[in-house]
Chain A
Amino acid sequence: MNKVPIEAGLILAGILFMLGLISVLIRRNIIFMLISVEIMLNAAGLAFIVAGARWAQADGQVMFIFILTMAAAEVSVGLALILQIYHQLKTLDSDAANEMNG
């Protein structure tokens, strides 16, 4: 019933991952960098889903659930770190946090 080629799904995942990678490279705002990492994780999950659908196995979706869990834990810890950095440095510039003075 479904005529979508497997290449199309993988190409979509690749394009989304590349957009997230470009964003994490060009941004200086830490919150934008965190969002970009979310985009990249989502693209990786999409690749897993495509592969799982190709072989009609549940493993791809199981791996997506693990990625989802990891993304949720990562974003909560990352946002707590962003709050601490903002309170200590009064800026969201990632370059401002390059000194290790407690």
Chain B
Amino acid sequence: MMEVTFYIVATIAVVATVMVVTRHNLIHALLYLVVSFLAIAVVFYLLGAPFMAALEVIIYAGAIVVLIIFVIMMLNLKEEAVEQERQWLGRGILYGPAILSLILLGELLYIIITAEPNNSSYQTVDAKAVGLSLYGPYVIGVELCGILLMSGIVGAYHLGRQKKKIVHRFLEAIEE
């Protein structure tokens, strides 16, 4: 039963991601991206990581996608954006990167499949073990994450600020 669920959810994740890659409309791509993240969250749950499944839904499907949607709303893209995306994403541009990436994927699959099989089953690693590990041997990583998030906030504020252009009025007259 678990196995069937896994394969169904994996198929949903791959199909939704293919739809993200091929969409022309940004909002449609983001909605498919939410479906993909939810499917991967179910995969996490099936693999015995329920806490990570919750984090995937909350942070990826919640916070990050909503952030991107807000930025798209701020940009106020018109109908022409979809047409332009269709023009940019022509048929011919797909083949080169797709073929090369497929060759790489084929090699990866060959390595994975020909490795010696093991029949070990998954075991659930609950949130308690994760927390003990996170604040035990990995506490320096948690502190580094804190520094990274703070620098991210400062950087986003600094970059996102609308700078008022200060031009002398004589220069303004020349530029016009």
* Residues of A that sit less than 8 Å from B by CB: 1-12, 14-16, 18-23, 25-29, 31-32, 34-36, 38-39, 42, 46, 49-50, 52-54, 56-62, 64-66, 68-77, 79-84, 86-87, 92-93
14 additional A-B residue pairs with CB within 8 Å, beyond A16-B17, A35-B29, A72-B64: A15-B105, A25-B101, A28-B88, A31-B26, A39-B17, A53-B125, A64-B55, A73-B149, A76-B156, A77-B152, A80-B155, A80-B158, A80-B159, A92-B75
B 1-44 contacts with A by CB, 8 A: 2-3, 6-7, 10, 13-14, 17-18, 20-21, 26, 29-30, 33, 36-37, 40, 43-44
Q: How far is the CA of A6 from the CA of B48 in the complex (A)?
A: 13
In the complex, what residues of B have CB within 8 A of residue A86's CB?
75
Q: When the two chains form their complex, are residues B21 and A19 in contact, meaning their CB atoms are under 8 A apart?
A: yes
Chain B interface size range = 35 or more
In the complex, what residues of B have CB within 8 A of residue A8's CB?
6-7, 10
Closest residue of chain A to B90 (Cβ to Cβ) is: A26
Minimum C-beta distance from B113 to chain A (A): 6
